[in-house]
Chains A and B, each alone.
Chain A
């Protein structure tokens, strides 16, 4: 694609990778799958290594990372949104946070530089998993009738307004939530990747034309790389905290 005399790569070329292994089958492995596998292995390795060494009062190395992560999820996600009874969701939320974080952070790892969540498959799967979990939790905590009543007919609303409120709540609770969760993660990663690619292409072209001119886009590239590290962590955090908010809403109905 030719934009302003720049040889900008096609958007689809930035997100579609050729198969490496088992090409042609349903189990074909490409770069995205490898990044997800790496994220799974890193997450599992951190917590298995940290959990194995019990009894060390002064945490160091991997144990320190794991303990800081667990404390962070407990204090700023679970206690802020669900409360004491949310502790049983800690393993799920912590694992999900680190999995999303590691699959995002490959966006800025030199040589790999692709956010695996820039493909829709895993974000939508995670979001549907969250959908199933908060509905099951709601039905178990309040009963099927109570859960539907509390989510479709929020108390404290004048009766006539239920004509408007109930359809809105029905769509927003049961249809829009998983999609907005998935699209938020996916679109942020796509946008970040396109931003980095744009400045990388600009730097390359200007370096070829005039060596000095490449300084400005290169500075932006460095800045945006830092910004994308922030976005990767923030999106993992937002996905986790929204999951916690939805679970909390199912556990305690709105007063």
Chain B
């Protein structure tokens, strides 16, 4: 392993680390928003099931909540695109 590492040129090493960082960055950025969107949609569904007559209002608010939560995941995606070698 160390031999292989020693043989690669410094530039290649940097490229590889960049790729690992980009992939990890996107994956980590997706954890929180994944949980968050799940919470938003789950609670919206139970609200709609309890009060079907307010489904329209709940759906609008749900999309708003999703949009705000999703922004974090999308920023992670943007960083991934910027870091991609």
Contacts from A to B (Cβ < 8 Å): 11, 76, 80-81, 180, 183-184, 187-188, 190-191, 234, 237-238, 241-242, 245
Contacts and interface: CB of A to CB of B under 8 A. Distances in A.
Contacts of A80: 56-57, 60
Interface stretch (B5-13, B35-43, B45-53, B71-79): B71-79
Contacts of A188: 74
B60 A183 contact: no
B78 A187 contact: yes
Given A76-B56, A76-B60, A80-B60, A238 B77 contact: no
Given A11-B84, A180-B71, A183-B71, A234 B63 contact: yes
B24 interface: no
B31 interface: no
Contact of B63 (A180, A191, A237): A237
The 10 closest A-B pairs by CB, nearest first: A187-B74, A238-B67, A180-B71, A80-B60, A187-B77, A184-B71, A187-B78, A183-B74, A184-B74, A238-B63
Nearest to A239: B67
Contacts of A237: 63
B65 to A, nearest CB: 11
B17 interface: no
A79 B70 CA distance: 24
A238 B67 CA distance: 7
Q: Chain B binding site: helix, strand, loop or mixed by DSSP?
A: helix
B64 interface: yes
Interface residues of B, number: 15
A185 to B, nearest CB: 9
Contact of B81 (A11, A180, A234, A245): A11
A80 B78 CA distance: 31
A71 to B, nearest CB: 13
Q: Identify the interface centre among B56, B67, B74, B78: most chain A CB within 10 Å of its CB.
A: B67
Nearest to B73: A187
Given A11-B84, A184-B71, A242 B64 contact: yes
Contacts of A242: 64, 67
A184 B64 contact: no
A216 to B, nearest CB: 24
A187 B71 CA distance: 9
Contacts of A187: 74, 77-78
A245 B64 contact: yes
Contacts of B70: 184
A192 to B, nearest CB: 11
- In this complex, the member of A81, A180, A190, A237 whose beta carbon has the largest number of chain B beta carbons within 10 angstroms is A180
Given A183-B74, A184-B70, A184-B71, A241 B64 contact: yes
Nearest to A188: B74
A245 B74 CA distance: 21
A239 B81 CA distance: 22
Contacts of A183: 71, 74-75, 78
Nearest to A10: B84
Nearest to B67: A238
A241 B60 contact: yes
A11 B82 CA distance: 11
